[in-house]
Chain A
Amino acid sequence: MSTVHLKRPQGQVSLGMLLLKGRTFIALALLLIFFSLRAPNFTEWGSVVLMVKHASIYGLLALGMTMVIITGGIDLSVGSIVGLSGMVAGGMLIEGIRLPWVSGTIFPNVPLILLIVFSLAILIGLCSGLLIARLKVPAFIATLGAMYICRGAAMLRSGGATFPNLFGDAAKGNLGFDLIGAGSIPGIDVPYSILIFMVMALIAAFIMKKTPLGNQIYAVGGNERAAQLSGIKIHKVKVFVYIFSALLASLSGIIMTSQLRAAHPANGESWEMNAIASVVLGGTSMSGGVGTIGGTIIGVLVITVLNDGMIMMGVSSFWQMVIKGVVIIVAVVIDLVQKDLQKKAALTARLK
């Protein structure tokens, strides 16, 4: 994967190869055609905006997950960070922060709430990252632990109950929380949440393509030992990706909570799986070193269009799961076959 020097080299690419390479994009196109023919209201502006809004919320997780997976890791904690972030924000809106010594309560305003939530996410990411990088805990285990801790903490915040009606109160000075998810750019009907996702996607792509850090993320995933011997601070690189992933997860949690105007501790459950599926569909290799943000965005769109399209068609949610599973497995099998073919082609080319 070349980050500095433009695209991959284009050798003599056959039509079949081209089809294989653009498979996720083709799948997306086919899905769009299929659902616009079969699902009522699929092509209406409202449905499109709704779908993109969904994609934005899932997509934030997938962006961070892409970086984590490219380093050769995995982050299972993002779904529960979504839940925890919503609960922490919701709790501060409704109950405020009780001060322990002077029996009083302060109500932070919305920017301060966001700051606190993001700091918490950074702390969670830092802990996972340090466990993985310094103590060599397998990423699967470290983030599995973080997943349980965050989910438990989210439940503990309210004893399992929902924080409803998160509009804020003018008297408390914390109005405006609902605008993050529900507001739109004035003039055109594009919600802020989509804008936030696009900005974050650009930042992620910028990091991966234009900064030394991005190069180092690819290098760590491609061959950790060689990266280390080349003087790359692999610990820092790893800690960064887990922090970034947690931060994006908390952003996703805030947007979702704001859209619903309610925080529920089970929010974001199993979203990490959605994110992983999107990343893999987007062509990122689970063994690290290979993948792009652009691919992930297409993967996110495929998953979202498939989800929402099936809902609009009225497919039962049980069948939805089955179909999603099949799509993911088929995508990965095609990916593996494609890589195998490429390797063989390269070797036979050298025989001649």
Chain B
Amino acid sequence: MMETTPTPVMEAVGITKLYPGTVALQDVDFSVYPGKVNVLIGENGAGKSTLMKILAGIEKPTEGRVLLDGREVHFASTREASAHGVGIIHQELNLFPEMRVADNMFAGKEVSRYGMVDRRQQARLASRVLDRLQPGINPNGLMLNLRVGQQQIVEIAKTMLEEKLKVLIMDEPTSSLSNAEVEVLFKLIEDLKTQGIAIIYISHRLEEIIRIGDYVTILRDGRRVADAQVKDIDVHWIIEHMVCHSNLTIEKIPYPGEPEPIMTVEDYRLPRPGGGWTVDHVSFTLHRGEVLGIYGLMGAGRTELVESLMGLHPESGGRMTLSGEIIDRPGITRQIERGMVLVPEDRQRDGLVQTMSIADNLLLTSIPQFTKNGVIRHDPCRRAVEGTVQDMQIKVADVRHLITSLSGGNQQKVVIGKCVMANARVFMMDEPSRGIDVGAKTDIFILMRRFAAQGNGVIFVGSELKEIISVCDRVLVMSNGRLTADLSGAAITEAALVAESAANLFTGKAAATTEGSVEQ
């Protein structure tokens, strides 16, 4: 086969994107070749989604240029991008479930006649595209009656309404699909390739990438670290470039005391709206001095489990004891008073008050401790804040600065520091290393081990294998709401974790049908 480097249809040159608190992208180049699947991979927070958003016109780069067919373009919106032939399919589908399929496809660009929406014409155009992709979707049916896979096809069809679709961006398109639907999607991608459309494909699933990818670009911490043709590489090459080279070695300091249980959870469950369980009768014990990992794929119910234990889901139920005390109905405030804290997955949404200073964020929970007759005492507050900042090595110029002036890693340390100041004994950390730089990650893992060594219990919800393996004493694996494994010591291996995390997914047709009914 003759191989010359084809001309890229789209190029990103020297893209830098700053957000308050984080550098999402730093001087990134990215080429998109026509008729190829251009894969973009990286860990959570590596900047993939940001780069996509810039290419699709959702975000503007702070610095750098985007070229389409060799000409510089500045998309003001996704609509403008799609008019130029750049379409995007988000991981979360952006659809109106109560509207018709055709209306969904034409939302924002309705076909009108005499000032009225021409539904018939819309349906005709819609079905022309839909039939090409997958026959059997009725353009006049309601969106909510379609399965997730079909909804995704509608999303793809939406981008193909423009006659000259050149670039199609797919952000983790398989994350919510069943196996059969994934096959349909891959076939579709092959079709699109033969039409000369460039696909930008983002995924975490490495085997998928090897299967359908042509070119691969790896991002890490907002920088491009490598790119190659997929035929020249293998999974190991990808992993090697994706994860940090300095192999993560965290010293597992043992707890000198008795590893007695600090929290027991029995038969915990959270019903899923529409039937089934998001958390499916989960039981486990957390001991003093232990870092307990909870590993699983997206949607396995890990976050919901820790949220339920924290009291965020009143509809959850089960038996729980905390330091021997039986807890019937957990409420957030009481749980915190009992020493249980949650470092939430989404730092910006659930962890920080962006309008407040670093000091005030640290004091959010513990401020009543620093009062005398109901009045805040300034000096003890300041001493405690400064102590925590020093202890956790939070890099700040001044604790009175706004929290948003910090980098992501330091913001995360503030969220954890807030919990430490509340005298926590059970730390539940949901993806604490997401979206922060490598140095801060290591710091946070060291802190987790230190909390454990002080006789506390630490739960680490994570989806990065290396991190889980190098930090945890014991790992629970969740799949589809259920605990599928309880591994400790040498049994914690990448292979075991991956196998167990898929254990409850494809066990017969039962799982598939419940999944289908849930999506209705």
**Size category, A interface:** 35 or more
**A4/B376 in contact, CB under 8 A:** yes
- Check A347/B18 contact, CB under 8 A, given A9-B398, A210-B376: yes
A135 at interface, CB cutoff 8 A: no
Residues of chain A from 12 to 39 with CB closer than 8 A to chain B in the complex:
none
In the complex, chain A residues whose CB is within 8 Å of the CB of B23: 350
Residues of chain B from 29 to 64 with CB closer than 8 A to chain A in the complex:
62-63
- A7, A211, A343 — which one has the most chain B CB atoms within 10 A of its CB? A211
- Check A226/B376 contact, CB under 8 A, given A4-B363, A219-B364: no
**B332/A2 in contact, CB under 8 A:** no
In the complex, chain A residues whose CB is within 8 Å of the CB of B405: 346
**B418/A230 in contact, CB under 8 A:** yes
> How many angstroms between the C-alpha atoms of A232 and B16 in the bound complex?
38
B180 at interface, CB cutoff 8 A: no
In the complex, chain B residues whose CB is within 8 Å of the CB of A6: 400
A102 at interface, CB cutoff 8 A: no
**A229/B342 in contact, CB under 8 A:** yes
> How many angstroms between the C-alpha atoms of A289 and B356 in the bound complex?
8
In the complex, chain A residues whose CB is within 8 Å of the CB of B337: 231
A4, A211, A343, A346: which contacts B360 (Cβ < 8 A)?
A4
A7, A212, A223: which contacts B371 (Cβ < 8 A)?
A212
**B376/A289 in contact, CB under 8 A:** no
**B355/A1 in contact, CB under 8 A:** yes
B368 at interface, CB cutoff 8 A: yes
Residues of chain B from 378 to 404 with CB closer than 8 A to chain A in the complex:
378, 381-382, 385, 398-402
In the complex, chain A residues whose CB is within 8 Å of the CB of B357: 1-2, 4-5
Give the shortest distance, in Å, between B385 (CB) and chain A (any CB): 8
**A225/B376 in contact, CB under 8 A:** no
Q: How many A-B residue pairs have CB under 8 A?
A: 122
**A226/B350 in contact, CB under 8 A:** yes
**A232/B62 in contact, CB under 8 A:** no
**B355/A229 in contact, CB under 8 A:** no
- Check A229/B376 contact, CB under 8 A, given A222-B356, A343-B20: no
**B368/A212 in contact, CB under 8 A:** yes
Chain B interface SS verdict (over half) = mixed
In the complex, chain A residues whose CB is within 8 Å of the CB of B487: none
- Check A228/B356 contact, CB under 8 A, given A211-B371, A211-B376, A215-B376: no
**A227/B381 in contact, CB under 8 A:** no
B165 at interface, CB cutoff 8 A: no
**B356/A219 in contact, CB under 8 A:** yes
- B349: nearest chain-A partner, CB-CB: A225
- A4, A228, A285, A347 — which one has the most chain B CB atoms within 10 A of its CB? A4
Contact indicator per residue, chain B 336-358, by CB within 8 Å of chain A (1) or not (0)? 11000010100001111111110
Give the shortest distance, in Å, between B28 (CB) and chain A (any CB): 15
**B350/A350 in contact, CB under 8 A:** no
In the complex, chain A residues whose CB is within 8 Å of the CB of B355: 1, 218, 221-223, 285, 288-290
A351 at interface, CB cutoff 8 A: yes
B375 at interface, CB cutoff 8 A: yes
> How many angstroms between the C-alpha atoms of A232 and B418 in the bound complex?
13
In the complex, chain B residues whose CB is within 8 Å of the CB of A285: 355
> How many angstroms between the C-alpha atoms of A346 and B376 in the bound complex?
31
> How many angstroms between the C-alpha atoms of A350 and B333 in the bound complex?
37
**A5/B368 in contact, CB under 8 A:** no
Give the shortest distance, in Å, between B418 (CB) and chain A (any CB): 6
Give the shortest distance, in Å, between B191 (CB) and chain A (any CB): 42
**A227/B353 in contact, CB under 8 A:** yes
A136 at interface, CB cutoff 8 A: no
Contact indicator per residue, chain B 78-95, by CB within 8 Å of chain A (1) or not (0)? 000000000000000000
- B333, B337, B378 — which one has the most chain A CB atoms within 10 A of its CB? B333
- B418: nearest chain-A partner, CB-CB: A230
In the complex, chain B residues whose CB is within 8 Å of the CB of A221: 355
Give the shortest distance, in Å, between A223 (CB) and chain B (any CB): 4
**A212/B62 in contact, CB under 8 A:** no
B470 at interface, CB cutoff 8 A: no
Give the shortest distance, in Å, between B399 (CB) and chain A (any CB): 7
In the complex, chain B residues whose CB is within 8 Å of the CB of A4: 357, 359-360, 363, 367, 376, 378, 381
In the complex, chain A residues whose CB is within 8 Å of the CB of B115: none
In the complex, chain B residues whose CB is within 8 Å of the CB of A218: 353, 355-356, 360
B374 at interface, CB cutoff 8 A: yes
In the complex, chain A residues whose CB is within 8 Å of the CB of B398: 9
In the complex, chain A residues whose CB is within 8 Å of the CB of B332: 228-229, 231
**B353/A222 in contact, CB under 8 A:** yes
Q: Which residues of A approach B to under 8 Å, CB–CB? A: 1-9, 210-212, 215-216, 218-219, 221-223, 225-233, 285, 288-290, 343, 346-347, 350-351
Those 6 A-B pairs whose CB atoms lie nearest each other, nearest first: A289-B355, A231-B336, A222-B353, A222-B355, A2-B357, A230-B364
User: Could you write out 7 A-B pairs with CB less than 8 Å apart?
Assistant: A2-B356, A4-B357, A212-B374, A215-B363, A229-B344, A230-B364, A289-B356
Given contacts A212-B374, A222-B355, A351-B16, 16 further A-B contacts (CB under 8 A): A4-B357, A4-B360, A212-B371, A212-B376, A218-B353, A219-B356, A227-B353, A228-B332, A230-B418, A231-B335, A232-B364, A285-B355, A288-B355, A347-B18, A347-B20, A350-B18
